[in-house]
Amino acid sequence: MRKLTKKDLDNLTFKILGAAIEVHKILGPGLIESDYEESLLVELRLCGLNAVSQKTVERDYKGHILTGKLRFDVLVEDLVVVELKAVKKVLPIHEAITMSYMKHLKAPKGILINFNVKNIFYEGQKTFVNEYYAQLPNE
C-alpha cells in the first residue's frame, strides 16, 4: 500500500471542492445546511469517494471518553473534515470548530464551505491543515 502524501491530500481536496461547486451550481445559495450536506454526500459518492456524515466525535478528557453531542458534518476518506455552512458570514468560531474536529478525528485536513455565497471557489471555502498534515511527505 502506498504511503499517504501531501499531494494525495491536495488532490482529494480538489475533488471535494469540485463536488461542492457542482452542488452549488445545481442548488444555488439560500437553502438550509442539511440540503447541501445530503447533496454533497451524493456528489462525493458519485465521484467514488467514501464519505460519512453526522457521526459522534469522541473526545478524551483525562482518560475519560466524552461522547456528547459533538457531530461533524462530513468526513471524506477518513482524512478530510468538511464543515458546511449556509450563513451570511463565516465567523471565527466556525473555523475553530473545523480545526477542533480535525484534532479529535486526527484528520490532517479540513475544509469549511459556506454555500450562501455567489462563488464557492473564490469566497465560500477555506482550507485548514494541522500537525498531522505537516508530518506527511510532500510526494
**How confident is the model over 69-86, as a mean pLDDT?**
95
Percent of the chain with pLDDT over 90: 87
Instruction: Specify the CATH number for the domain of residue 74.
Output: 3.40.1350
CA distance 130 to 123: 22
pLDDT-based confidence at residue 69 (cuts at 50, 70, 90): confident
Task: Give a yes or no: residue 139 inside a domain.
Answer: no
Above 80 in pLDDT, residue 42? yes
Full-model pTM: 0.93
- Tell me the pLDDT of the chain averaged across its residues: 95
Task: Give a yes or no: residue 17 inside a domain.
Answer: yes
pLDDT-based confidence at residue 54 (cuts at 50, 70, 90): very high
Task: Give a yes or no: residue 113 inside a domain.
Answer: yes
The total number of structural domains in the chain stands at 1
Task: Give a yes or no: residue 137 inside a domain.
Answer: no
pLDDT value of residue 37: 98
pLDDT value of residue 68: 80
**Model confidence pLDDT, tens digit, residues 7-38:** 999 999 999 999 999 999 999 999 999 999 99
- Output 56 or 13, whichever has higher pLDDT: 13
Task: Give a yes or no: residue 60 inside a domain.
Answer: yes
Q: What is the DSSP string of 22-87?
A: HHHHHH-SSS-HHHHHHHHHHHHHHTT--EEESPBPPEEETTEEE-SS-B-SEEETTTEEEEEE--
pLDDT-based confidence at residue 56 (cuts at 50, 70, 90): confident
pLDDT-based confidence at residue 59 (cuts at 50, 70, 90): confident
Task: Give a yes or no: residue 107 inside a domain.
Answer: yes
Task: Give a yes or no: residue 78 inside a domain.
Answer: yes
Domain that holds residue 32: 6-132
Task: Give a yes or no: residue 138 inside a domain.
Answer: no
